[in-house]
Amino acid sequence: MMEYEYFGIEIPCPSAIIYTGNNFHITYKIKYPVNATDKAKTLAKRIQKEISNKLSDFNADKSVNLTTSTRFIYTRNFKTMNTVSVKIYEDKLYKLRDLQKCMPDLPSWYDKWKEQKKKNKKKVYNFFNLYNLLITRLGDLEKLQELRDFNCHGYRELMCFLYRNFAMQSLFNRR
C-alpha cells in the first residue's frame, strides 16, 4: 500500500527499504555529505521529520537519528528470528534540495522573522584581553596558596614557575 500510495506521490521514491524482521527503514542515497554544514544538518532533520509525519499511519518512528537506522543485510533479528532483507527501488543519488520538495512551503511570515532576527543580533563585547586574563591567573594562584594556608607541598615549584611566567607575560602584554 505504501509503495503505490506514498512513494513518488507523498514522499520521494526511496533508494531502498531495509526489512529488519520487526519493522523497516526507508533509505535515500544522498549525493553530498549531510554533515558538511549546519544548514544541511538542519534541512536533513526537517526532511526526516516531515517524511516520518507523512508516514505516521504506518507508526513511523519520529525519533530516529540520521545515522543509527542501519542493519546489515542477511543477518538475523534475534527477537523475531527473521532475516534482514533489502528491496532496492532506484539507484539514484538524491540532493537534499530534491528531497526538500516533499516538504510544505515555509509560512509567509518566516522570511520577515528571519530578517528581524538578523537585525536583533547584538554585538558581543569581550571584557577580557590577554593582559586581564594573565592578571586573573596571578590572582588565582595567590588564592590557591591562601586556601591551602601556604602549605603547597609538592606543588610549590610548579606554582612559582607558573606565577613567574604569568607575571612576565603580563609585563609584555600590558597596553
Is residue 87 within 8 Å of residue 19, measured between CB atoms? yes
| Burial group, residue 26, by CB count within 10 angstroms (0-12, 13-18, 19+) | buried
- Cβ neighbours around 27 below 10 Å, total: 16
Cα-based distances in Å from 129 to 36, 54, 134, 162: 33, 52, 9, 19
- Quick: pLDDT tens for 31-84: 877 776 777 787 888 888 888 888 777 767 666 665 555 667 777 777 778 787
In angstroms and rounded to an integer, the radius of gyration of the C-alpha atoms of the chain is 29
- Quick: pLDDT tens for 74-130: 777 777 787 877 778 777 788 888 888 777 777 788 788 888 877 777 776 777 788
Q: CA dihedral in degrees (126, 113, 41, 101; nearest 10)?
A: -160
Longest dimension (CA), the chain: 79
Question: What is the C-alpha to C-alpha distance for residues 133 and 123, in angstroms, rounded to an integer?
Answer: 21
Q: How many CA atoms lie within 13 A of 97 on its CB side?
A: 1
Q: Is the pLDDT of residue 26 over 70?
A: yes
Q: How far is CA 167 from the centre of its chain?
A: 41
pTM of the model: 0.54
Q: How far is CA 41 from the centre of its chain?
A: 7
| Degrees, nearest 5: CA angle 12-18-20 | 140
